[in-house]
Amino acid sequence: MAGLCKKCGKELQPDAKYCPYCGTPVDEYRMSDYKLPFDSLIEDRALQRYWITRIVAYLIDLFLVSFFLIIVYSLADAVLLRFVLPPDPFAPLLAFEGLGFGLTMVIYATLAEAYYGKTLGKKLMYMHTQSGKGTKPSIQASIVRNISKIHWLLLLLDILAGLIARGDAHERYLDRIASTRVALA
What pLDDT digit, counting tens, does each position of 59-96 carry?
999 999 989 988 887 787 767 666 655 555 555 555 45
What pLDDT digit, counting tens, does each position of 21-45 carry?
888 787 654 445 556 777 888 888 9
The answer to whether 48 touches 55, Cβ cutoff 8 Å, is no
Closest CA to 149 of 92, 111, 115, 99: 99
Give the number of C-alpha atoms closer than 13 A to the C-alpha of residue 112, restricted to the C-beta side. 20
CA distance 21 to 128: 23
Indicate if the pLDDT at residue 150 is higher than 60: yes
Answer yes or no: pTM beyond 0.85. Answer: no
The answer to whether 108 touches 63, Cβ cutoff 8 Å, is no
Closest CA to 5 of 175, 181, 24: 24
Q: Assign residue 167 a region: left if phi > 0, alpha if psi is -120 to 50, beta otherwise?
A: left
Q: Residue ranges per domain, the chain?
A: 1-34, 35-184
